[in-house]
Structure 1
């Protein structure tokens, strides 16, 4: 009989199909497990599959007395209370780097779309204003990418792939990260504030957590400046969204490209009404190649756990 795995987050059925070929999945469809399954059903659950951003705290783990591993689908794990897991001896795994290329591609897409005002240009054609030769102040020539300094906050797998792509567009690349990597051919800035003051495009690729919550605030946006753009493919919690809306409305910064939000799915609001923002629905890692790689990491972690071995993709 296949080993049982509790599916804690809401996932499309297609994403679970291959994993379900190897394990007996108890799918909560994103609901609290105790509302879907009986205490007897949950009593012998040893493995749990979750999306890294889904809150999973100590009291949630306590409902699963035999829980031995938490496996995150994707690279993120900011929703998991790692201290509570460690206290219980629960191993936590993820899919490091599995979607890095795909996320970096979306970061570049958002940067180009925002700085070249592609959504504004698209509307200019569709509205008939171009054909009617009606001028638009939003269509004034922007600064090209080759003349920009692009700052990357976070130089992990995703940050490095973004840097390589940005360099290919002949832009100057700088970064700030907890670690300085002397082997990288990019300028290192000593702080996030210094990075924001140096660059005109700030790419957020840092891992989310308590130390990065709202680290991009009103003061930092002022340092980025009136010709500055911000792109976020990390987690919505890194940016103070209210401060970002204010900065976009009053011209503190020029624009933004966002794939992630403080609340997801993101409902129409002040942010979505602004013409100087390009928005995508958290699709950074949503490519066929990424899902194959992420599922592979999940299956490898679960197989190792049930075989009594260390997780090959444990969180370090």
Structure 2
């Protein structure tokens, strides 16, 4: 029977579905695999169901030699933790789970936009500390989102889902930057550079894939182009943003605030960032809903099932 390693703790229904199909070894732990565990996964199993933090880079593949494993079924849409070209050259197929994550991640973007613009995190801390003195007309004034302009860096599935929520839910104008013109069901203005986009919006949201091509797309220049009242939100990958430049912009109040669900060196979050009242910080909650994680798991198992049946995998990368 085909041997599969499930490398992280997953919803029970996903594990049960995989066990019905394969000879499963279950690493029921929340932490990423060590280098030694990744080497063993390539040597001892026919396929691996793995996820963010399991860094299958070129060095791991080189040390592994000719792998027994023929597929890495990534649990998640982002796959910048896998060197896909090196995997392909080693005869290893890589798959992911797009679609299942779209709406949940877009919802978190809206959560962060509202929390940052309306200073919700700062306000909750005030109440919890017992320092709230009661309502008054100019207390904690924030940015009213309705009718403002949102700028979206990366107009793929998630970017478009955010844009729809902003346009139809909040009456916002939509602007974006992407490699190609998008056919959308609502008006939107396309800009050619991140700087031009940043200069013309009230809220800048990143929805880019991670990886070398997008690393530090949001840099000091992009942040300097933003208007002083504007807010920045990142729900994509931490390395899309130059975190040091963002911290400086927030410390110096050159932008009004930021909402982050991802960080450049997860799970480490710099103390300087944690100390800022104008930063809303979430622990990578983008897809953290049971039904979403179950659907992601089902997609990963479906990729494994198709591969070992000799059929085209539904979600190759």
Q: TM-score, normalised by structure 2?
A: 0.89
Shift of 1:120: 1.9
Change (3 A) 1:118 1:291: same
Q: Given that residues 38 and 54 in structure 2 are in contact (C-alpha distance below 8 angstroms), is that contact kept between their aligned partners in structure 1?
A: no
Match of 2:151 in 1: 151
Change (3 A) 1:100 1:36: closer
Change (3 A) 1:77 1:52: farther
Match of 2:9 in 1: 11
Q: Given that residues 47 and 69 in structure 2 are in contact (C-alpha distance below 8 angstroms), is that contact kept between their aligned partners in structure 1?
A: yes
**1:147-184 alpha-carbon deviations (Å, 9 max, x no partner):** 42110111111111111111111111111111211344
- 1:46-85 mapped onto 2 (5 Å cutoff): 46-62=46-62, 63=64, 65-85=67-87
Q: Given that residues 147 and 170 in structure 2 are in contact (C-alpha distance below 8 angstroms), is that contact kept between their aligned partners in structure 1?
A: no
Match of 1:281 in 2: 283
Q: Given that residues 153 and 175 in structure 1 are in contact (C-alpha distance below 8 angstroms), is that contact kept between their aligned partners in structure 2?
A: yes
Structure 2: any 5+ residue segments left out of the alignment?
A: none
Shift of 1:305: 1.0
The equivalent position to 2:299 in structure 1, one of 287, 297, 300, is 297
- Compare 48-57 and 252-261 and name the one that shifted more: 48-57
Q: Given that residues 58 and 83 in structure 2 are in contact (C-alpha distance below 8 angstroms), is that contact kept between their aligned partners in structure 1?
A: yes
Q: TM-score, normalised by structure 1?
A: 0.89
Counterpart Cα distance in 1 of 2:189 and 2:53: 31
Shift of 1:89: 2.8
Change (3 A) 1:27 1:61: farther
Structure 1: any 5+ residue segments left out of the alignment?
A: none
Shift of 1:67: 2.3
Shift of 1:204: 0.7
Change (3 A) 1:309 1:25: same
Q: Given that residues 93 and 314 in structure 1 are in contact (C-alpha distance below 8 angstroms), is that contact kept between their aligned partners in structure 2?
A: yes
Shift of 1:292: 2.1
- Compare 120-129 and 296-305 and name the one that shifted more: 120-129
SS at match of 1:173: strand
Change (3 A) 1:20 1:270: farther
Counterpart Cα distance in 2 of 1:306 and 1:284: 30
Q: Does 1:239 align with 2:241?
A: yes
Counterpart Cα distance in 2 of 1:227 and 1:36: 46
- Give RMSD over aligned pairs: 2.4
SS at match of 2:104: helix
Change (3 A) 1:45 1:125: closer
